Amino acid sequence: MQTSRLLLCSSSASSSNQLLLFGSAVTLTLPSCLRFPSLSLTITNSTSSSIRFNSIRSTSSQMASKDSQDPRIARISSSIRIIPDFPKPGIMFQDITTLLLDTKAFKDTIDLFVERYRDQNISVVAGVEARGFIFGPPIALAIGAKFVPMRKPKKLPGEVISEEYSLEYGTDKIEMHVGAVQTGERALVIDDLIATGGTLCAAIKLLERVGVTVVECACVIELPELKGRAKLGGKPLFVLVEGEGA
């Protein structure tokens, strides 16, 4: 296949530019205000008459729009470590301990929740054991609510009420101190992650049994393929990032 070179050059000292086309020189007279950078093209003599531009790259950067995703979300997501096959084969464990080591990402996490719930007249932040205990207290302090721990059986020393929920194999319970909440209070239920939704569902039922209104559930991570959201009985769920489950 025969190819020919086409070369456009510009000289700041002259108002004319030389065009070499298929080996023949043609002089083009252009206004002195026009200057072109050197540009090399290869013209292929074929039926398609294709033209290939050699090594032309854009150096311009793109500005993020005002409607783009909050950059704090990306920082939070990138700080969460994924550990395959823990605690058993096939599980992709979402490890938030690396998020807690990143002071900026940890602060971003708390700030996003506080911004959402500050003006929702919430009087109770109920944290599900155990990692709900990490995120719940700073949120409660910031929005002026009390923190109520929702614990595993036989962990609370006083009189308790409990709610049972199903696991993959068998059942478990969460418990809350009697008198920790009052009828008519408005609660936020928080945990680090929602997978199958059993624990959050039990927390909702436990609070509603004593006349508390559950405003919303909140988690840092959701594993949407496990469909835990569907078990919440239509209760609103707010999450920051989506993860990969088993």
**What are the residue numbers of the active site?**
131, 168
CA–CA separation, 81 vs 69, rounded Å? 21
Both tokens of 10, joined, read 């510009």
In contact, 194 and 219? CB cutoff 8 Å:
yes
**Is the C-alpha dihedral spanning 68, 73, 78, 83 positive or negative?**
negative
Burial class (CB in 10 A: 0-12, 13-18, 19+), 184: exposed
204 three-state secondary structure? helix
CA–CA separation, 128 vs 176, rounded Å? 10
Query: If you ran DSSP here, which 8-state letter would residue 157 be given?
Result: S
Query: If you ran DSSP here, which 8-state letter would residue 231 be given?
Result: G
Cis upstream peptide for 218 (omega within 30°):
no
Closest C-alpha to 72, from 100, 118, 99, 109: 109
In contact, 237 and 203? CB cutoff 8 Å:
no
Both tokens of 145, joined, read 């609510």
Q: Identify any residues that bridge with 171 across adjacent strands, giving them in sequence order.
A: 166
Cis upstream peptide for 87 (omega within 30°):
yes
Q: Identify any residues that bridge with 150 across adjacent strands, giving them in sequence order.
A: 128
